[in-house]
């Protein structure tokens, strides 16, 4: 089929502002760890970051570091270091590459920001809402660095999220106040938490509006752009800067819509991506699809950082609700409904399911969901075998052949 000729993606101008804000975030984190200016908490990406900020912690997100290891293509070489420690290459490759990074002292933070080592934690916090691996991951650091660790244990795979589920999580979050006050040296202030929660909601709702611009035809945004643009929603939520950034980005994308400008030059097919990104192939995959006139415009992954349920009037209950509603922890039935809705909302022609070797928690095509959704919607799908960080599990040739055949199938269906 068609030869790769040249990239047809468009650059997002607002990104320079995002890069400045992200740089400031990492430098502050590094300074906090080096000087003790602020205590440092490590927190899983959908853990109670707002509570940590309200107590004055600088917050590091190990999964964000894992994604940087993947995107910088450092991960594959670091995974065997964790394997030597007894961590199987089949478990989460964020975990294994991050542990390998720590042991070897190699971090992408050095090249990107001049930071010599991963900022050391004063406390480790995890929430099992997404998977068990985050617990094992933080426990490795707790043993290695002799640092206190606290966990929040979420209900698994609920169809309907009940009051009992939410209260169970809210109580556990509230119980963290006392030990975290001792570690931070700061007194808990509910008004501070309310303020941060409000900013977090505003940030992630604006992020939701950014992602919704992809409903336009042509879409001004791709999934591949989204994986980079989601940085502030992950690490800066709860700050005014994150709110300001997404307003800026939204304005730029709305202008593209007004001008009829798409993220790729000739959008002919609109695709949905389910599952983890393949971090080490973001650019290659972006070019593969855009050169076939296919725009991957929406995803489960990027939409996972929209927390509309945050309510400053009832901070602990609403935080628990928001962190329990995330796609990854829900029942198969809820997931099916969610993806069916996304297919309709974004006028999707085909669905891509990334079966990520080391992340069963976020590979949603292993129990027939893809076939069931094909039946109910009539929209074809393709399973992509790969991995989020371990490029030994990725075959570029196979991916190219399968994607080209899939696009041909879509062409025949038009």
Give the binding site for ligand SF4 (CB under 6 A).
63, 92, 94, 130-131, 133-134, 276, 359, 361-362, 388
Of the pair 62, 262, the CB lying nearest ligand SF4 is at 62
| Sequence-separated (6 or more) residues with CB below 8 Å from residue 382 | 350, 351, 352, 353, 402, 403, 406
Of the pair 8, 354, the CB lying nearest ligand SF4 is at 354
Rounded CA separation 19/15 (Å): 6
Q: How far is the CB of 286 from ligand SF4 (least distance, A)?
A: 20
Cβ burial 209-237 (10 Å sphere, 16+ → b, else e) = ebbbbbebebbbbbbbbbbbbbbbbbbbb
Q: How far is the CB of 326 from ligand SF4 (least distance, A)?
A: 10
Q: How far is the CB of 153 from ligand SF4 (least distance, A)?
A: 15
Q: How far is the CB of 91 from ligand SF4 (least distance, A)?
A: 7
Of the pair 199, 339, the CB lying nearest ligand SF4 is at 339
Of the pair 312, 390, the CB lying nearest ligand SF4 is at 390
Nearest to 68 by CA among 96, 100, 104, 94: 94
Q: How far is the CB of 74 from ligand SF4 (least distance, A)?
A: 16
Of the pair 58, 329, the CB lying nearest ligand SF4 is at 329
Nearest to 69 by CA among 31, 127, 34, 110: 110
Q: How far is the CB of 154 from ligand SF4 (least distance, A)?
A: 13
Q: What is the DSSP string of 291-355?
A: TTTEEEEEETTGGGG--TT--TTSHHHHHHHHHHS-GGGS-HHHHHHHHHHHHHHTT-SEEEEEE
For residue 45, what is the DSSP state? T
Check: CB of residue 311 under 8 Å from CB of residue 186.
Answer: no
For residue 9, what is the DSSP state? B
Q: Which two tokens stand for residue 248?
A: 């800026």
Q: How far is the CB of 94 from ligand SF4 (least distance, A)?
A: 5
Of the pair 96, 285, the CB lying nearest ligand SF4 is at 96
Q: Which two tokens stand for residue 204?
A: 């992630």
Q: How far is the CB of 257 from ligand SF4 (least distance, A)?
A: 32
Helix (H) or strand (E) holding 152: strand 149-152
Nearest to 5 by CA among 398, 281, 292: 292
Q: How far is the CB of 92 from ligand SF4 (least distance, A)?
A: 3
**Cis bond upstream, residue 218 (ω within 30):** yes
Q: How far is the CB of 137 from ligand SF4 (least distance, A)?
A: 7
Q: Which two tokens stand for residue 379?
A: 């929209």
Rounded CA separation 118/121 (Å): 9
Rounded CA separation 168/370 (Å): 32
Q: What's the Rg (C-alpha) of the chain?
A: 21
Helix (H) or strand (E) holding 194: helix 190-212
């Amino acid at each position: 089929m068609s030869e790769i000729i040249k990239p047809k993606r468009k650059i997002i101008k607002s990104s320079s502002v995002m890069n400045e804000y992200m740089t400031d975030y990492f430098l502050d984190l590094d300074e906090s760890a080096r000087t003790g200016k602020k205590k440092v908490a490590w927190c899983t990406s959908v853990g109670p970051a707002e509570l940590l900020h309200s107590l004055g912690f600088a917050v590091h997100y190990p999964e964000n570091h894992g994604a940087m290891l993947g995107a910088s293509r450092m991960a594959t070489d670091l995974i065997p270091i964790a394997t030597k420690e007894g961590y199987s290459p089949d478990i989460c490759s964020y975990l294994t590459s991050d542990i390998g990074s720590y042991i070897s002292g190699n971090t992408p933070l050095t090249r990107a920001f001049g930071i010599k080592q991963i900022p050391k934690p004063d406390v480790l916090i995890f929430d099992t809402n997404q998977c068990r691996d985050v617990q094992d991951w933080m426990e490795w650091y707790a043993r290695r660095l002799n640092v206190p660790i606290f966990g929040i244990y979420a209900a698994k795979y609920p169809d309907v999220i009940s009051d009992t589920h939410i209260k169970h999580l809210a109580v556990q979050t509230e119980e963290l106040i006392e030990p975290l006050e001792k570690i931070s040296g700061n007194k808990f202030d509910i008004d501070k938490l309310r303020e941060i929660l409000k900013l977090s909601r505003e940030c992630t709702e604006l992020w939701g509006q950014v992602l919704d611009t992809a409903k336009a035809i042509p879409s001004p945004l791709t999934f591949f752009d989204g994986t980079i643009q989601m940085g502030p929603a992950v690490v800066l939520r709860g700050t005014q800067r994150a709110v300001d950034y997404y307003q800026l980005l939204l304005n730029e994308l709305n202008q593209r819509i007004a001008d009829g400008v798409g993220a790729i030059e000739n959008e002919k097919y609109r695709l949905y991506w389910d599952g983890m990104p393949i971090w080490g192939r973001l650019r290659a995959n972006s070019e593969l699809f855009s050169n076939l006139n296919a725009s991957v415009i929406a995803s489960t992954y990027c939409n996972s950082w929209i927390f509309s349920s945050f309510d400053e009037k009832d901070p602990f209950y609403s935080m628990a609700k928001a962190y329990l509603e995330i796609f990854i922890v829900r029942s198969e039935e809820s997931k099916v409904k969610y993806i069916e809705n996304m297919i309709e909302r974004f006028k999707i022609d085909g669905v891509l399911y990334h079966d990520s070797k080391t992340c069963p928690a976020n590979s949603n095509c292993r129990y027939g969901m893809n076939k069931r959704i094909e039946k109910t919607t009539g929209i074809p799908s393709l399973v992509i075998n790969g991995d989020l960080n371990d490029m030994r599990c990725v075959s570029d040739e196979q991916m190219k052949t399968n994607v080209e055949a899939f696009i041909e199938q879509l062409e025949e269906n038009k």
